[in-house]
Amino acid sequence: MRAVNKLGTGVLALLYLASSAVLIAQTSEKLAPTFALAIEEGQLSAQAGYQPTDHELLVKYTNISDVVQKDDCVVTPAAYKMVVLRDGLPAEKRKTRSKNTDESQDSGKTNGYRIKTDYTEADMCNGITRGIDPGKVVKFTLWVSSEYDMTVPGTYEITVTRETDRWNPNKSVTIRSNTITIVVPPPPASAQQ
């Protein structure tokens, strides 16, 4: 009888440990960041036809891990989110077509049918095909004024974010860049009349 009690106790302890291990395994752990982001305002030349209201960001993605990173989306703008505030409030986004659909140029109709093509995230990621060594920096540009109307005078604060794992939101961490400020002055008094 004593052997049966020991066996029963052992089985119960084993079941308890197994269920505890399953619960621990199911707990979503956030992954440690493997990259850092930094931004600065890009220099646009009026000689090249850019207006004073055209703004771009130079984004610096740095591999802060100990291993070579393979990330085809590292220079893909769709992988990043810009947070733009004007005078402390969210800036107005420009109205554009959906990023995931492409419609034909002639009012979107051909023989009475609308042509739509859906792109997956993998289709949009096309960039660096080689790995990024530890400590290395990859630079690319994001056009702020193509997404946000920066013609309205004010003080704009811009931050860029990216998820560490967009395919597993429970394990993802949002990485934020520094915040830069761009001041758009009111037009000169002679231009207002």
Confidence of residue 68 (pLDDT cuts 50, 70, 90): very high
* Spacing of C-alpha 61 from chain mean position: 11
**Span 25-94+129-186: which CATH code?**
2.60.40.2970
Structural contact between residues 180 and 157, judged by C-beta atoms closer than 8 angstroms: yes
Q: Say whether pTM exceeds 0.85.
A: no
Is residue 151 pLDDT above 50, yes or no? yes
Domain boundaries, the chain: 25-94+129-186
Is residue 82 pLDDT above 70, yes or no? yes
Instruction: Please compute Rg for the chain using Cα positions.
Output: 25
Both tokens of residue 5?
A: 């009690």
DSSP codes joined into one string, 49-105: T--TT--EEEEEEEE-SSS-B--TTTT-GGG-EEEEEETTEEPPBPP---TTEEE-T
pLDDT of residue 72: 83
pLDDT in tens, 14-56: 555 555 554 444 455 777 889 999 999 987 877 788 887 888 9
